[in-house]
Structure 1
Amino acid sequence: MNEQQKQKNGLIKSFATKWAEFIIRFKWPVVIATLVLALGLASQGKMEFDGDYHVFFSKSNPELEAFDALQEKYTKDDNVVIVLAPMNGNVFTKENLSAIEELTASAWNTPYSSRVDAITNFQYTRAEGDDLYVDDLSYESHAKTPEEIAKIREVALKEPLLMHRLINEKGSVTAINVTLRLPGIDTAKEIPEVTKNTREMIAAFQEKHPEFDMYTTGLVPLNTAFFEASFRDLALTMVMFLIVIVVTLVLTRNIFAMLATLFVVFFSIASSVGFVGLMGIKLTPPSSVFPTMILTLAVADSIHILITMLQKVRNEGYTKTAAIIESMRLNFMPVFITSLTTIIGFLTLNFGEVPPFWDLGNIAAFGMTMAFLYSTTLLPALMAIFPIWKKKSKKVKTKEASVSFYTKLGNYVIKQPIRLTVISVVVIGVLGVLATKNVFNDEFVEYFDDSVKFRTDSDFINENLTGFYNVEFSVSSGESGGINNPEYLQTLHDFEAWLETQPEVTHVNAFSEVARRVNRSMHGDDQSFYRVPTSREEAAQYLLLYELSLPFGLDLNNQINVDKSESRVTVTLKNNSSAEMIAFSKRAEDWLKSNAPGAMHALGVSPTLMFSKLGFRQADSMFNGNIIALILISIVLMIALRNFKLGLLSIIPNVTPVIVGFGLWWLYKGTINTGMVIVFGMTLGIIVDDTVHFMSKFLRARRDYGYTAKQAVVYAFETVGQALVTTTLVLIAGFAVLSTSSFALNSYMARITLMIIIAALIIDFVLLPSLLILTSKKTTTNHTKQ
């Protein structure tokens, strides 16, 4: 080791030693100061939740802009779909139709409701002479004769606007669609208000009519599911607290170490809650897991310091004070580096396209900053205050067994570095190939598991009535009043007919269907006139007459814009994968380009399509962020380790666990959602923890003691092996809790993170030491280990 390196080493050790001595000397003021800081920040905390699905899209998201533009032209799409399945399997009985009428009337009282569609209030057109009559398909159902009920069934099961939308082919399941105009001022109050009213209405209806099974879906229930997922995942923090108590106590075998760790964790989370309030962040399902993230990572910081301290006391006869100082001297820089790299990793989430992950990244980065501060101030101060209880004989025996295991593992690795490297490269290569086979799929219904009612209800509705996913097109005529142009109507009808032939499509709602139906009615219900009008003037007159006949709330504002220059085509589809949804939309857009005039060319938009494209956009935008994070972290390691070669070498154990994780994921699931795209940036800092601590101990042995590479590897196993296993177990416990989330963005992210964390430990115990041996210069200096 040259003189310059010795001076740098001494400077770092001197600072860490002096810092530890200062903390121990002023332990009570330090505890009080950190308590004041944590409580001061916590007092600014304000936990608000936002469950609106719009939060998943940035304001510059082109799909969101297009969808908002469509909603400005027509009515908004916020809705609640209430599905009724009578136990007798027949909607069309006097009793069942009467009950549906009753529920339809109640649905109008839903807060912010603007329209209610059901089979009973479907506006059925018929002609008598020169008069056009538009009536509810079934009114006063209790007074209907069996013949009238049969006629209603016949009409409903032949009506294109009802089939696979509000009634299924068997007539055994029907739906009531409540369209809402939410003010959008405070969705945290508006959505729960609608949900509460809807649930009370359904409960009251089922109490009176137990012969119906009820299901709900729609955008408001989707938003509610997001809301409730946030609360459930936040509650996982309490479970994690209990696990941390048990795991820390078992691994350190010291109740005071466990208490000190809990104080660090509690202060870190309390400070982060204050950050949430100060920044005005509203929590969403992805960002609401921040307490579990911070709790898990803060424990990892503390464990390194505690394990070293306890080792010094139990096995090397250090006094408590000397053990704290020595632990801080050895761990201050590695803990600082791992905290810094973890912060960098979380901050890269800001490169993505999903705002809730920006919030998660920023909150976690702040939390990790505070965790480092409390780990290097509050933790040693508390350990200086707390007594150390020792049962020497038992603990020494346990430790010797532990050291013996890590020594044996180190000796096993140094005997065959080439063989272990080759095996590792082959395994990583195979899993790397498998990792490329994963595909994106962001079906938002599948964001929730089967424990969530929204998911099971939506699955039932998809299987028995209609698809929940849709794509919409605003098809322009290019002129005011142009929707009455026969050429426009005919092309629109051709587009409608083409859509109905597509395998994904279950229902198409287009204005051309209304034009055909009214044209038939105006010609004495002659089926030969079930076509678009041939005259523009005739079409305009029919439309005006039809609109004047419609009751309030059931007009055509949801299908045509104000100046009648555009009409809306809504295509309902089966639950398809993201790639299939995007492909369908592109196919439909291409059909319009090939078969319709330029003015009629339209883009497919909808929340479904937005979510489908979100994962791909997130992956593209996160790529640059991940590259920047990798470069920054490698530079940090080069500077911290003061070794350019090892800084470059560190890239291998920092990147390969992610490759291995995604390879294993293909074997487990094979599909990736938006939440998993952030895993590389998020876990990069976590993975670095293992690498930094192992490399720092390796370099210490090389520089301070002049060990050969093989001796240095064994030394690293002996001094840091237990701490790495301990922190890994804590991380596994934390993410295992999060993996139980009913929200797939969080649970899938946690599950693949578990795979990556385990892979990181194995790679740092097998591949990294093998590479260190193979790339290190041989030295003839052979000092005695200290």
Structure 2
Amino acid sequence: MAFQWKDLKFTHTEANLIPADDKVNVDYNSFLKNFGEEGNLIVIATKDKKLFTPEIYKKWSELMHQIKSDKEIELVITVDNLQKLTKNDSSQTFELKPLVDQSKTLDENYLKQIKSELFNKMPFYEGLLFNKKSGAIRSAVYLDKKIVNTIARKEYVLHNLIPKLNKFKDETGIELHTSGMPYIRTLNAKTIVDEIGIFIGAALLITSLIFFFFFRSFRATLISLVIVIIGVMWSFGIIALMGYEITVLTALVPTLVIVIGIPNCIFFINKYHQEYQKHANKAKALQRVITKTGTATLMTNLTTAFGFATFIATNNTLLSEFGVVTSINIIAIYLLCLIIIPIFFSYIPAPIPRHLGHLEREYLTSFMNWIVRTVKFNRVGVYVTSVILLVFGIIGIYEIRISGSIIEDMPKKSAFFDDIRFFEKEFDGVMPLEIMIDTKKKNGAMKLTNLRRMEDLEETITDIPELSKPLSIVNVAKSFNQAYYNGNPDFYTLPSPNEEFALLPYIKNSLKNSKDNQLKSYISDDGSVARITTFIKDENGEKMKSIETQLRNKINKIFPSPKYEVIITGKSLVFQKGTKYLLDNLLSSLLFAFLITAGLVAIMFRSFKMVLVSIIPNLLPLLMTAGLMGFLGIPLKPSTILVFGIAFGMSVDDTLRFLAQYRLELSRNDWKIKKSVFATFDDAGISMFYTSIVLFFGFSVFMLSSFGGTIALGGLVALTLFFGMLSNLVLLPSLVLTLNKTLANEQELKTPIIDILEHTDEELDELEKKNN
């Protein structure tokens, strides 16, 4: 598996949470086909007034020239190379001439004049290159679209662009702010990669310390660490073998292997110690670990694997890959534990009293005694508390908000996150929202009537406070009209019908002869399709639905179908739609998990009532977690949606272990209900407590992350599993005792299809006689 690591690849695209054939993706791909990759813009800005002083301006100019000379760069728009439109009547074109005379840039008064001209006479660039109110200046750097989704983008940003920006800052002392989707995605991905090692190291350290605290055995701790380390190596190898990339989700798999693998080790070693304490026969104890605990642990690992496998049914590539890889690795780590632990303990000396002391430790017996007393004497209190918590959860669910934010899960303490907020404040955001208008006629987008329709739509966009000033062919046409009147900003308007005849040849000739003009990217080659680009502040992602409704209502009025076809798309909209898609599928995936669990319980117990008893204690912790999310203001988003499937798949393990042991105790104790329930605590209770503690602290490791989503995922799963442990140790036996007359009916509990119980040899003989 280690040899497969050479084929590991890290994702260079952001997560697309929607199926490829969904209309949202079809529309987005249609946009990309017409205009190419939209997310190739990097912006560099400063508010420092010293920028327009000769020395600093020279350094700024050199920086932009160096960036422009890089082969990875398609275009740089900055004050230093800014062009202004001038009219050429002889050729009936508008020509681009430099705004800045480089020979005069050592004159500070000249630079102030340039700044004044930019701010007062070039309205086209307002909101694009400068903020007139605050004085912020920025440059637009367009990456080559071919490298945006490749490793070349990462190499350029990390090893070329950032060093140049740092050098400028060191030489001038001017603070630069950098953002844009390529920049954000690169630093975000780097943080993900950096954290993989932190998660694995922290998970190994915490789980091994807890393990040693429980068992007080260096050998047992060592073999458990060896097993999970091999499991981690396998997890990376499996990802590479399957041709998957390391994404924000698959990066969690190695740590999950540790968190799930250690509880497996606990169950096997704890059972070995229990058996050895009974009869001091090492070979017999190891045989029962394999034949009985091995089968029981297989079923519980299967339920965990099925919990993760529910993500495969979402019809989403990112989640499906996560579900596939995690499910395979759960079974793989189970097999490692099943095979290696008995072999290892067969070679080393038998456990000594110090190793077995954990079975009778005072804090553990005190906790279990409290559980037993609560179940025995206060079941009414248990049910009242459960109902209160249920009501709490349901009320909290109504308080949950849905997040449409792309950057909410990004590291909030990082410099690039602060830069995102800077651009949201100064330039109304960096998350693009695109509108594509198909006039279905050649050069239809350049007709004055359609330009006026687009201008009408842009006025609606401007009136929406969450959106930035739009940029489109309308702005280009207004600039042409301004140039026609010798640069007078009062004429930065669309031409009147009388002016259209004179201007149209100029516009056509200018666009035709300016193949490298970036502004041409706002109209298709045949002139039939136009593009309007605006930006939205990320914090307004939750308002995307109402914003889209406002735009769609206006579009339907001014661009009636089927004469026009208008698509609203862009990365911000695709992400918001992806979040909604996940939410729509959350209920179905959880229902699928419930059905699988119910099926496994039905196969094992052949009892419908057992199915109900197994589901209820695991449903309550999920509702409590959802309620806490509502009251604590934790939104539903891709990362937190995963909590419910993961937590349910792992929490139900304790339920199956308890019920399996309970069924065994019934047969041992002549179907005496109370005696069987409390005997179940003696055998299964300790392992349930140990594994729940390991899982709680294991998932808490993810809270070390700088990503809000990973922190929420780790914290919420840990909390849900803690609730699940209490629910399975308190509510589950209470339900069993309350429903004892039916659940304990010997005819009801028929011989299971799959027997996962740890019978003694004498019990197996007795059961065989009964069956005969």
- What TM-score does the superposition give when structure 2 sets the normalisation length? 0.89
Aligned AA (1:654): N
Aligned-residue offset at 1:548: 6.8
How far 1:570 sits from its partner (Å)? Answer: 0.6
Query: Are the counterparts in 2 of residues 119 and 167 from structure 1 also a CA contact under 8 Å?
Result: no
Distance 1:113 1:401 in 2: 64
Stretch moving more, 729-738 or 189-198: 189-198
Structure 2 letter corresponding to 1:105: H
65, 70, 77: which one pairs with 1:110?
70
**C-alpha separation between the residues in 1 aligned to 2:452 and 2:423?**
32
Aligned counterparts of 1:143 and 1:403: Cα–Cα separation in 2: 82
Q: Does structure 2 retain, via aligned residues, the 8 Å contact 1:233–1:741?
A: yes
State the shift of 1:48 in Å. Answer: 1.5
Q: Which residue matches 1:608? A: 572
Task: Verify: 1:441 aligned to 2:403, yes or no.
Answer: yes
User: Structure 2: how far apart are the matches of 1:389 and 1:747?
Assistant: 39
Q: Find the counterpart in structure 1 of residue 20 from structure 2.
A: 59
Equivalent of 2:151 in 162, 182, 188: 188
2:326 to 333, 339, 364: 364
Deviation of residue 593 (structure 1)?
A: 0.5
Q: Hey, what's the Cα distance between the residues in 2 that align with 1:419 and 1:494?
A: 65
1:710 to 651, 666, 674: 674
Contact 1:440–1:578 (CA under 8 A) maintained in structure 2: no
The Cα of 1:132 is off from its aligned counterpart by: 4.9
- Once the two structures are superposed, residues 244-296 of structure 1 have per-residue CA deviations (whole angstroms, 9 ceiling, x without a partner) of 22111111222222122123212322333332222111111111110001111
Quote the Cα distance in structure 1 between the aligned partners of 2:245 and 2:429: 31
Alpha-carbon shift at residue 624 of structure 1 (Å) = 2.4
Deviation at 1:654, TM superposition (A): 2.2
Amino acid at match of 1:701: E
- Report deviation, 1:335: 0.9
Contact 2:148-2:182 within 8 A present in 1 as well: no
Give the CA deviation at 1:521. Answer: 2.1
- The residue type equivalent to 1:371 in the other structure is I
Report the Cα offset of residue 600 of structure 1. Answer: 4.2
Shift of 1:170: 3.8
Q: Helix, strand or coil: the match of 2:724?
A: helix
Is the partner of 2:44 in helix, strand or coil? strand
Question: How far apart, in 2, do the equivalents of 1:671 and 1:286 lie?
Answer: 18
Q: Quick check: 640-649 or 628-637, which moved more? A: 640-649
Q: Using the alignment, how far apart are the partners of 1:628 and 1:780 within structure 2?
A: 30
CA deviation after TM superposition for structure 1 residue 745, in Å: 3.3
Point out where structure 2 has 5 or more consecutive residues left out of the alignment: 747-762, 764-772
Are residues 770 and 278 of structure 1, via their aligned partners in 2, closer, same or farther at CA, if it must alter by over 3 Å? same
- Bigger Cα displacement from structure 2, 445-454 vs 717-726: 445-454
8 Å CA contact 2:216–2:355 kept in 1: the answer is: no
Separation (CA, whole Å) in 2 of partners of 1:333 and 1:54:
38
The answer on 1:558 being equivalent to 2:521 is yes
Q: In terms of mean alpha carbon deviation, does 389-398 or 518-527 score higher?
A: 389-398
* 1:187-586 correspondence runs (5 A): 187-210=150-173, 212-235=174-197, 236-314=199-277, 316=278, 318-328=280-290, 330-391=292-353, 395=357, 398-399=360-361, 402-525=364-487, 529-533=491-495, 534=497, 536-547=500-511, 553-586=516-549
Query: Judging changes above 3 Å, is the alpha-carbon distance between structure 1 residues 171 and 311 closer, same or farther for their aligned structure 2 residues?
Result: same
Q: Deviations over 1:547-588 (max 9, x none)?
A: 4786x7434332111011122111122233433123212311
**Which position in structure 2 is the counterpart of 1:49?**
10
Asked if residue 753 in structure 1 is aligned to residue 738 in structure 2, the reply is no
Find the aligned partners of 1:270 and 1:446 in 2 and give their Cα distance: 31
Residues 476 and 519 in structure 2, CA contact (< 8 A), matched pair in contact too: no
Distance (whole Å) between structure 2 residues aligned to residue 679 and residue 495 of structure 1: 41
Moved more, 384-393 or 344-353: 384-393
- Compare 359-368 and 254-263 and name the one that shifted more: 254-263
2:697 alignment partner in structure 1: 733
CA distance, structure 1, for counterparts of residue 292 and residue 626 of structure 2? 34
- Aligned residue for 1:675, secondary structure, equals helix
SS of match in other structure, 2:521: coil
SS in structure 2 opposite 1:168? coil
Q: Distance in 2 between matches of 1:91 and 1:170?
A: 16
Following TM superposition, by how much is the alpha carbon of 1:317 offset from its aligned partner in structure 2, in angstroms? 5.2
1:484 deviation in Å? 2.6
Q: CA deviation at 1:758?
A: 1.0
In the aligned structure 2, how far is the partner of 1:307 from the partner of 1:384? Answer: 15
CA, structure 1 residues 227+474, in 2 after alignment: closer, same or farther (shift >3 Å)?
A: same
Deviation per CA, 1:648-679, whole angstroms, max 9, x where unpaired? 22111222211111111222233121122222
Comparing 155-164 and 368-377, the one that deviates more:
155-164
Q: Deviations over 1:162-216 (max 9, x none)?
A: 2233212345422211112242597134432343211122123223322x11222
Q: Which residue of structure 2 lines up, in the alignment, with residue 76 of structure 1?
A: 37
Aligned partners of 2:520, 2:736: CA distance in 1, in Å? 70
Q: Is contact 1:76-1:180 (8 Å) kept?
A: no
Say whether 1:630 aligns with 2:597: no
- 8 Å CA contact 2:130–2:136 kept in 1: the answer is yes
Q: 1:595 aligns with which of 555, 558, 568?
A: 558
Q: Secondary structure, in 3 states, of the residue corresponding to 1:594? A: helix
The code of the aligned residue for 2:452 comes to: Q
Query: What is the correspondence of 1:159-198 to structure 2 with a 5 Å cutoff?
Result: 159-183=122-146, 187-198=150-161
One-letter code of the match for 1:522?
Y
TM-superposed deviation, 1:80: 4.5
Question: Aligned letter for 1:506?
Answer: S
Q: Secondary structure at the match of 1:440?
A: coil
SS in 1 for 2:704: coil
Encode CA deviations 1:123-157: one digit per residue, 9 max, x unaligned: 32345988855323334162456256235324335
The 8 Å contact of residues 75 and 557 in structure 1, kept in 2 or not, is answered as no
Structure 1 runs not aligned, ≥5 long: 1-40
Residue matched to 1:770? 734
- What's the RMSD between the two structures over aligned residues? 2.8
Task: Provide the C-alpha distance between the structure 2 equivalents of 1:397 and 1:596, rounded to a whole number of angstroms.
Answer: 75
Compute the displacement of 1:406 (Å): 1.1
What's the counterpart of residue 613 of structure 2?
Answer: 649
- Secondary structure, counterpart of 2:464 in structure 1: coil
Matched residues in 2 for 1:502 and 1:251: separation? 60
Q: Is the 8 A contact 1:138 1:152 kept in 2?
A: no
Question: How far apart are the structure 2 equivalents of 1:267 and 1:152?
Answer: 62
Measured in 2, the distance between the counterparts of 1:357 and 1:515 equals: 45
Query: Secondary structure at 1:507's aligned position in 2?
Result: coil
Instruction: Tell me whether 654-663 or 169-178 shows the greater mean CA deviation.
Output: 169-178
> Could you say what secondary structure the match of 1:439 adopts?
coil
